[in-house]
Structure formats: C-alpha cells, structure tokens
C-alpha cells in the first residue's frame, strides 16, 4: 500500500495564503485525521492532495511519485464529500458502478464490485433506491461505497459525518473504524470535531491558520501538547488556563491567593507563564488545592462538572468524581497533583 | 385528527364565511380582467372558428372551415414551413444553449460574465432593429456575401433572401441568434444549483468530461430542458416577427417562409378579412401546442412513476 509525503506545501488564493508550508509524512495504512477550527485550511489541504486545488508551492508525493501535476483520477485516491455528492438521478447501484464504466471494467466485474461494497456497507436492500429515498446515514454509506469500488490506495474524507445527527455520528464513527481495519487502506480524514479525531485517528494533525501545530497519536496530544493551542483544542471539556509566575522550583498562581505549587521545569524565576490543568486532573487525593466557590453545577450522570472561581478570578471547570453533593454557592477545595500541571511560555510554547 | 376537526368547526362559523368572502373579493379584480381579456376572447374565437364569410358578413358554417383546411395549399405550405422551422431550429438552439451554458459555467473561464451578457443580449434588443440589420447583412451584396467572397469560401453570391432554401436558413439563423441566450440563462441558473462536489467527485473517479456532460449534467437538467423545449416549441409555432420583417416581402420568397401565424395575420388583415377561417387556423396552433407538449412530457417523464 501507499504512504504520502508533503514537503513545504503552500496554497494561496490570490494574495491570501491559506496553507503556509506543511511538511507531513503519512505512513501506509495509517488513519490520519486533520483537525482544527473552521477555516483553518483542512479542506484546502485535502483538496490539494486530491488534485482539486492546485498546489501553489511545495511537493506532494503519493507512494514514490510526485503528484503535483497529476490529474485527480490518476492519483489512486477516492474522496467522500461532506455533502455526499451522490448522483441524484441514479440508483444506489448506478451511483457505485458509474465511474467503473469509464475505467474499462467489464459489466459483470462492476456488478461484483458493487455487490461486494454493498455487503461491506450493508446496503444490499437499498441498491435500487435513489439518493432522495435514503436517510442521511444511508447516503453517507453509498458515498463511501462509491469510493470503495475503485479500490483506491488512499481514501480522503472531508467532514463526512457533519451532516448527521449525534447518535448516527457515533454509529458511523464505529463503522469507519471497522472499515479501516477491513480495507487496509490509508485514510486521510478531515474534521473540526476533536472527539472524532481522538476516537478515529492513528495520528492527529492539528492545524491552525494553515500551519501544522502538532502531529501525534491522540493520547500524545492529550498528555503532552506542544503548545497552548493544542492543549486547548484537544480534550473536552477544555483545559483550564491560569496565570502564573515562576519562582525557584515552583509556580505562583497569581489569581489564586498566590499559592505556590512545586513544579520541576527549567524556567527562570520571574517568568510569566500560563498554567494549564485539565478539568479531569482534579483528584480528591491531590497534594495541592485551589480554593474555589461553585457557580454552576452540571450533573451529567456519570460525572459532575462544577464551574467555579476563586474570588473574582476566572471560571475554572472541575470534573469531580461524581460529587452529587455540590451546589451552587458552596466553597470547596479542588485538589490536584502538581505533576498534572502543564506550563506554557508567553508565546504559547510548552515549557517542559 | 384534532386539527382536522377544528378546521371543520371553523368552516361552519360566520367568521370563516366572512374570510372566504374577503378572499374572493381580493382576487375578483384579477378574475374579472382575466375573464374579459382572456377567457372571453378564447371562447369567442372558438365560436368564430365555425363562422364562414368575408369581412363582417359572417354566418355559421359548421365544419366548413375544417374542410377548407384540408383543401387549402397555402395553409399546408404554412404548416409544413412551421414544422421545418420547429424540427430544425429548436434542437439546434437548445443544444447550443446547453453547450454555451456548460462553457460559461466554468469558474476558471476568463470574462465569463461578459460572454453571458453578450449571448443573452439579443433577446432584449429591438425586434425591428435586428430584423432590418439581418436583412441588410444578407442582401445579395450585403456583408455576409462580401465576407464569404473575400475569404474565397464561395465563388458567387448566395441569394440569401431570394432563394426559398436559403431564406429558411436565414430565418433559422436569426431566431437561433435571438433566443439561444435566453434558453442558456435557464440552463445556467439550473447548473448553479447543482452541488459542485458532484462534478469534483466524478472527476476524481475518472469520469471523462464528455460523460460528465452527458450522464450527469443533461439528466440533472432534465426538468429545465423539458421546460425550455416546451416554451421554444410554442414560440416557434407562433413564429411571426422574423418571417414578417426579415424577408423583403413578408413570408417570401414565394411563401417559403410563410408560417401559420403569418398566415393568420394575412387572412385577417392583409387579404379580404376572413376572421372565421383565421380563428380555425389559430386553433390548429393551439391543438399542435397541446399535442407536442404532451409528447415532450411523456418523453422525459420519470420512468419509475
Ligand atoms: N476557492 C477559494 N477562494 C478563496 N478563498 C478560499 C477558497 N477556498 C477556501 N478559501 C479560504 O481558505 C481558508 C480555508 O478554507 P478551508 O480549507 O475550507 O477551511 P476548513 O475546511 O478548515 O474549514 C478559508 O479562510 C477560506 O475562506
Ligand atoms: Mg472544510
């Protein structure tokens, strides 16, 4: 199978640079997810790989071949669009078999391929329906089926689940993970939803404003983010960021009564830092504590989220171990282990 | 269930009756105008089509006019000319419009709004001005002949407006020039409603350009193609302006461009007026429009329904 290499890839629309130099290696059979806020250039990058947008600068290799100038149909890829892009006047069967007719595939071979894709995607009963007679999830599966019959080396997905309701999204996520195992293909998947990224990806590429912020396995990004942006983007509910100042062997939390929490990072005393702590890092047996007053409590059943602050400081999210006793107005001590803190310099880079 | 019951009750109250009355009052002016200026003339002309006689001197003739149709060589000439225009011109124009629309829908094309305007403009130009221009272009020593002679494509001038065959060609070119852009606008509007990723997907999947046009664009535009073919058919069956204005003598040479509408006009206003027979010929057009539209709907009808 086939991996991809991107070297200094750039894209400008007129004078606006949208992709600002992306270097990336994607291994064969890897499930890689591009994630980032809306408008950061995920679709553009994917469309450049597909050949739907020209590459302004840099090099794209699929397998060993440079693909910058190669026509989309010759790149060994298939793409699934957010809008599904089904042919409205064709049945499911015709939708899936249509492109094969132009690849010189014999009729009975097309029928076999379509039947195989229908089996994998459980579309057998729907083959003679038109797209408008299908539900959103079924249309999505047809779009995937249309990609599968071509046996591409690389599958490209652009926010394929965005138009589905929450429940169906979870279901399709599981389906996609299964499909990846079954197809043994390289998958590049674009989403703005970090939960989708975390659950599906072998590796995640976090993009912001056309720049790769970090590449890594989901838990690597969660445990060990390179910068403030990645730390804030990955994880739900979002990480809390507190103001701090370095002292010798400790960080002083300015907005929390100047409490000192011991940390072991190399930063000069007096440096202003941002201190990150995840809501779920608060543990009852922690050795340090923030003194907070509860403002709002959200009972999610399995866990309880408390939104609390110290005095007039900023709002802190605390995921308690299902402490159903908390009520708004209560004072409580949010305990945590100092090792759970992540420190970031003023420019957003992680201080390790 | 509940909702239906409520509505049923409401319909019986005085309030509902007042509202219904108000509704009728609002559409009354339009209804009266429609009745006076459309429905009455339609019924009147139907009655007229059974009248025989000249000028105001009319009497009921039963099927005499219909019999006259079958024995009238000029009518049959007009009918066959109209069909020739219809069969040759409408398909050429619609195919051209579709091709132009496809080309002008390409977002990479330079100056496409300029081209769109240029192709659309003919149908809003003054009819008489363009007819005069066409006539002068196609005179024996007109620009077209000069141009073709200059390029040595022809050795002697083509008798554009003097020869029955070439006169038809000129008329076909004129109406094609005038109405292609009009039809193109419908296609363009429909194309802009098609999700672009459908084409992108086909492109990635290796569907060649001609197949994207033939198997994707054309079927997806089917309802619009039906619509344009129906209105173009109706327009051509009523063809009058060009054949009346472009040839030096209307309908000429020797009735080669005489159409049904022009014949109706001649019967009513040019010859000794024969209003009854003219009305009969108009009903021929009505019936043709009905039949042809029905067949067009049958042809493009969704086979699964
Ligand atoms: N064809 C285009 N012309 C001009 N600007 C574009 C075009 N396509 C995308 N952009 C711009 O590029 C940026 C990235 O777009 P996109 O890749 O679609 O973002 P994402 O998929 O991450 O939401 C946006 O600011 C968008 O406005
Ligand atoms: Mg996008």
Residue A139 Ramachandran class (φ > 0 left, ψ -120 to 50 alpha, else beta): alpha
pLDDT > 90? residue A11: yes
Q: Which of A211, A233, A255 is the last residue of a domain?
A: A233
How many domains does one find in chain B? 2
Rounded CA-CA distance A133/A152 in Å is 28
Q: Cα(B292) to centroid of ligand 2, in Å?
A: 47
Domain containing A98 equals 4-233
Residues B110 and B30 in one domain: no
CA angle B139-B140-B143, nearest 5°?
60
Residues B92 and B212 in one domain: yes
Residues B144 and B20 in one domain: no
Choice among A88-92, A167-171, B204-208 with the minimum mean pLDDT: A167-171
The total number of residues written for chain A in this structure: 352
Q: Cα(A85) to centroid of ligand 1, in Å?
A: 19
- What is the average pLDDT value for chain B, to the nearest integer? 85
Residues B235 and B119 in one domain: yes
pLDDT 10s digits, B60-112: 777 788 888 888 888 889 999 999 999 999 999 999 999 999 988 887 778 88
The pLDDT of residue B189 is 92
Provide the b/e sequence for A82-92 (b: ≥16 CB within 10 Å).
bbbbbbebbbb
Helix (H, G, I), strand (E, B) or coil at B161: coil
Report DSSP letters for A263-305, one per residue: ------TT-EEEEEE-GGGB-TT-SEEEEEEEEEEEE-SS-EE
Confidence label for B3 from pLDDT (cuts 50, 70 and 90): very low
Residues A208 and A334 in one domain: no
- Top pLDDT among B26 and A320 is at B26
For chain A, say whether B208 makes contact (Cβ under 8 Å).
Answer: yes
Rounded CA-CA distance A319/A305 in Å is 5
For chain A, say whether B198 makes contact (Cβ under 8 Å).
Answer: yes
Please count the other Cβ atoms lying within 10 Å of the Cβ belonging to residue B96: 17
Residues B27 and B124 in one domain: no
Ligand 1: list residues with CB < 6 Å: A 13, 18, 36, 38-44
The pLDDT of residue B94 is 95
pLDDT, mean of residues A22-43: 94
pLDDT 10s digits, A114-144: 999 999 888 889 999 999 999 988 999 999 9
Q: Which of A215, A233, A251 is the last residue of a domain?
A: A233
Confidence label for A15 from pLDDT (cuts 50, 70 and 90): very high
How many domains does one find in chain A? 2
| Closest among A350, A84, A56, A37 to A221, alpha carbons compared | A350
The pLDDT of residue A131 is 94
pLDDT 10s digits, B156-198: 878 888 888 988 999 999 999 999 999 999 999 999 999 999 9
pLDDT > 80? residue B128: yes
Residues B18 and B143 in one domain: no
Residues B25 and B98 in one domain: no
Residues B88 and B219 in one domain: yes
B208 and A102: CB-CB below 8 Å? yes
Residue at B51 is within a domain: no
Residues B197 and B267 in one domain: yes
Rounded CA-CA distance A274/A344 in Å is 5
Residues A39 and A87 in one domain: yes
Residue at B291 is within a domain: yes
Rounded CA-CA distance B156/B144 in Å is 12
Confidence label for B4 from pLDDT (cuts 50, 70 and 90): very low
In chain B, what is the straight-line distance between the N-terminal and C-terminal CA atoms, in Å?
30
Residues B14 and B96 in one domain: no
Ligand 1 atom with minimal separation from the A44 CA: 17
| Residue recorded with tokens 């999505």 | A140
For chain A, say whether B205 makes contact (Cβ under 8 Å).
Answer: yes
Report for B4-8, B125-129, B215-219, B264-268: range of highest mean pLDDT = B215-219
Ligand 1 atom with minimal separation from the A37 CA: 22
Residue at B66 is within a domain: no
pLDDT > 90? residue A302: no
Residues A146 and A179 in one domain: yes
Residue at B44 is within a domain: no
Residues A179 and A63 in one domain: yes
Check: complex ipTM more than 0.90: no
Mutate which of A10, A18, A50, A207 for ligand 1? The one with the most ligand atoms within 8 Å of its CB, which is A18
Q: Which of A178, A211, A233 is the last residue of a domain?
A: A233
Residue at B15 is within a domain: yes
Residues B132 and B216 in one domain: yes
For chain A, say whether B201 makes contact (Cβ under 8 Å).
Answer: yes
Report DSSP letters for A167-231, one per residue: HHHHHHHHHHHHHHHHH--EEEEEES-HHHHHHH-SEEEEEETTEEEEEE-HHHHHHS-SBHHHH
Q: Cα(A84) to centroid of ligand 1, in Å?
A: 19
Give the CA count within 13 Å in the CB-facing half-sphere of B7. 4
Residues A80 and A103 in one domain: yes
pLDDT, mean of residues A28-46: 95
To which H or E segment does residue B288 belong?
Answer: helix B275-300
The pLDDT of residue B7 is 53
Contact assessment for residue B250 and residue B244, using Cβ atoms and an 8 Å cutoff: yes
pLDDT, mean of residues A157-163: 91
Residues B144 and B285 in one domain: yes
The pLDDT of residue B2 is 45
Residues A225 and A288 in one domain: no
pLDDT 10s digits, B236-262: 988 888 888 888 888 778 888 888 889
Residues A215 and A103 in one domain: yes
To which H or E segment does residue A22 belong?
Answer: strand A16-26
pLDDT 10s digits, A314-352: 899 999 876 667 888 888 889 999 999 999 999 999 998
B201 and A85: CB-CB below 8 Å? yes
Residues A224 and A261 in one domain: no
Proximal ligand: closest to the CA of A162:
2
pLDDT 10s digits, A181-202: 988 899 999 999 999 999 999 9
CATH number at residue A314: 2.40.50.140
Closest CA in chain A for residue B196: A85
The pLDDT of residue B305 is 45
Residues A229 and A246 in one domain: no
pLDDT > 70? residue A33: yes
Domain containing B27 equals 4-35
The pLDDT of residue B127 is 84
């Amino acid at each position: 199978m086939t991996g991809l290499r991107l070297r200094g890839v750039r894209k400008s629309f007129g004078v606006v640079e949208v992709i600002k130099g992306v270097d990336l290696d994607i291994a064969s059979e890897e499930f890689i997810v591009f994630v980032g806020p809306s408008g950061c250039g995920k679709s553009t990058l994917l469309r450049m790989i597909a050949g739907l947008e020209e590459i302004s600068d840099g090099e794209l290799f699929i397998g060993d071949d440079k693909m910058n100038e190669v026509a989309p149909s010759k790149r060994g890829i298939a793409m699934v669009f957010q809008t599904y892009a089904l042919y409205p006047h064709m049945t499911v069967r015709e939708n899936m078999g249509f492109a094969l007719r132009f690849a010189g595939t014999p009729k009975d071979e097309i029928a076999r391929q379509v039947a195989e894709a229908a089996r994998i995607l459980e579309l057998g009963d729907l083959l003679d329906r038109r797209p408008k007679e299908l539900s959103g999830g079924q249309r999505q599966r047809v779009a995937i089926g249309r990609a599968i019959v071509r046996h591409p080396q690389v599958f490209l997905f652009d926010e394929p689940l965005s138009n589905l309701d929450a429940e169906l999204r979870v279901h399709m996520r599981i389906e996609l993970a299964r499909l990846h195992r079954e197809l043994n293909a390289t998958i590049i998947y674009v989403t703005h939803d970090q939960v989708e990224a975390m659950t599906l990806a072998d590796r995640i590429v976090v993009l912001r404003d056309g720049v790769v912020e970090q590449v890594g396995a989901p838990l690597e990004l969660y445990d060990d983010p390179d910068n403030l942006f990645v730390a804030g983007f990955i994880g739900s509910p979002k990480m809390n960021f507190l103001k701090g100042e370095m002292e010798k062997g400790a960080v002083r939390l300015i907005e929390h009564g100047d409490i000192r929490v011991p940390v072991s990072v190399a930063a000069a005393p007096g440096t202003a830092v941002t201190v990150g702590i995840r809501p779920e890092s608060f543990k009852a047996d922690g050795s340090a504590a923030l003194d907070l007053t509860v403002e709002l409590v959200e009972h999610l059943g399995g866990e309880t989220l408390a939104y609390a602050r110290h005095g007039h400081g900023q709002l802190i999210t605390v995921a308690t171990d299902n402490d159903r006793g908390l009520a708004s107005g209560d004072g409580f001590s949010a305990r945590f282990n100092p090792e759970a803190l992540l420190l970031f310099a003023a420019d957003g880079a992680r201080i390790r | 269930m509940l909702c239906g019951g409520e509505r049923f009750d409401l319909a019986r109250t005085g309030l509902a009756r007042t509202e219904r009355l108000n509704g009728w009052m609002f559409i009354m002016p339009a209804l009266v105008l429609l009745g006076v200026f459309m429905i009455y003339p339609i019924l009147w002309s139907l009655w007229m089509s059974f009248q025989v006689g000249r000028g105001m001197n009319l009497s009921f003739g039963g099927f005499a006019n219909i019999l006259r149709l079958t024995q009238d060589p000029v009518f049959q000439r007009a009918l066959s000319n109209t069909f020739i225009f219809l069969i040759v011109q409408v398909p050429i124009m619609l195919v051209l419009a579709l091709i132009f629309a496809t080309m002008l829908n390409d977002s990479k094309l330079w100056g496409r709004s300029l081209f769109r305007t240029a192709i659309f403009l003919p149908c809003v130009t003054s009819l008489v001005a363009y007819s005069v221009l066409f006539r002068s272009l196609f005179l024996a020593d007109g620009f077209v002949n000069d141009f073709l002679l200059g390029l040595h494509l022809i050795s002697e001038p083509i008798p554009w407006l003097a020869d029955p065959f070439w006169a038809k060609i000129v008329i076909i070119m004129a109406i094609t020039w005038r109405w292609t852009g009009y039809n193109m606008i419908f296609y363009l509007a429909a194309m802009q409603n098609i999700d672009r990723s459908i084409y992108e997907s086909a492109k990635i999947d290796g569907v060649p350009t001609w197949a994207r046009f033939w198997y994707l664009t054309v079927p997806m535009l089917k309802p619009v193609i039906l619509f344009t073919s129906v209105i173009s058919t109706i327009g051509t069956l009523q063809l009058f302006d060009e054949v009346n204005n472009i040839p030096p003598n209307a309908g000429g040479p020797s009735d080669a461009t005489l159409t049904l509408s022009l014949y109706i006009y001649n019967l009513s206003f040019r010859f000794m007026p024969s209003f009854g027979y003219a009305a009969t010929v108009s009903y021929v057009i009505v019936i043709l429009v009905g039949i042809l539209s029905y067949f067009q709907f049958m042809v493009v009808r969704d086979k699964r329904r």
